[in-house]
Amino acid sequence: MTDAEWVLAIGSIALVGATLGLVYATLRLSSFTKALSSATQEVARIDERRTRMEQRRARLEMARRRIALGEELIRMHRTDWLVPLQGGSFPEAEARVIRELAILVEYEKSQVSKSEMDGILHVLDISNLGTALDALPAQNFLDSFRRVQEKIAGDMQRWRQEVVDLFVEERREK
């Protein structure tokens, strides 16, 4: 064999060796990529679970707050309000409870309609302006409020069950 043939043979062997090295490196890179993909999928599952838990906790907190406000609303004594309404005011603590509960009620599931609650809120708004109600509109407000109290009382069992369901769902996920 001539020198040129030896150089060509050694070059071919080196090229085969380099090709095998590249194949090995590609296989290693493939296994690292697969491991990275697996880890990424696991991180996505963990993040999805964390997001679900945060959403459930937020729903749970809102449901508990709705129950607490509903219980406060049910305990309110409307007859104490007749004189303030006729004088153009409304007790601020009770107004805050009513306003917050009005935001938290899911009207599509509630016995209370949005229009009923809007009527209550309207009277609170005009009392904030110092507008006095005559005896008949004040009594109509009290009657309407009583109906809302009764409907909220009817919703309480469903609201409490929602809290229980959220707790059960959380336990299942753990």
- Give me 163's structure tokens: 């809290």
Distance CA 125, CA 84 (A): 14
Gyration radius of the chain over CA positions: 35
Domain ranges of the chain: 3-173
Q: How many CB atoms within 10 Å of residue 145?
A: 20
Check residue 172 and give its pLDDT.
84
Q: How many CB atoms within 10 Å of residue 141?
A: 22
Cα-based torsion angle of the residue sequence 13, 16, 20, 25 in order, rounded to the nearest 10 degrees:
100
At residue 126, the 3 state secondary structure works out as: helix
pLDDT per residue rounded down to tens, the chain (174 residues)? 787 787 777 778 878 887 888 888 888 888 888 888 888 999 999 999 999 999 999 999 999 999 999 999 999 987 777 667 767 777 888 999 999 999 999 999 999 999 999 999 999 898 888 887 788 888 888 899 999 999 999 999 999 999 999 989 888 876
Distance CA 72, CA 18 (A): 80
- Give me 100's structure tokens: 């917050």
Check residue 83 and give its pLDDT.
65
Closest CA to 131 of 73, 70, 90, 173: 90
